[in-house]
Structure 1
Amino acid sequence: MYQFLVSFTVRPEHRDDFVRAAGRTARDSLAHEPGSHRFEVIVDAENPDVFYLNEVYADLEAFETHAGGPYFGAFFAEASAYAEGPTWLMRGNLVGDNATAR
């Protein structure tokens, strides 16, 4: 499985907008993209202006399908107006016995 963690810094007056946009992307991606397995929106414990997206896909190809799809594009079209990022914090493939999709 292909996984990554990215961060965004969001202007304070747009935190709710970011959460809504990311949540909508998560919902739509998980419902309509078979290779999407997890899409979590996380707020930093110390800085409420920093958000993380923790995503898991069946493989790199599934992520590339997501990145070329309508939900990804709509999210960036909106969020780029008030958020800086993404900053890639981690990306790679799961290894070992837990590497199979469930």
Structure 2
Amino acid sequence: VMLEGKPVDLTGKADPGELRDRGLAHVPEDRHHVGLVLAFEEHENSILGYHDDERYLKGPLLNVDAISADANDKIEKYDIRPGNPRLKTANFSGGNQQK
């Protein structure tokens, strides 16, 4: 498999962060067991896999204000309902969980 003219390591040894930086994403088939933490709020789920991104950090801690602002942007962009990043993801419809 090639991505922008460069090979993609599909052996499971590739660095996930590097693959994300190259624009490759993985959408799990089973969102309830692999893709989401249903007990988390929407804004927490929105950064799964990106929790170490500098945009979401304030020193060694997560920057909840930045995470919530980003979640609000995604809610608007993808028309996620209900539009409250503080709701548990389990309360969202299946279609809105997928978004």
Whether TM-score is above 0.5 comes out as: no
Name the structure with the higher strand share.
1
**Larger of the two Rg values belongs to structure:** 2
TM-score, length of structure 1 as denominator length: 0.31
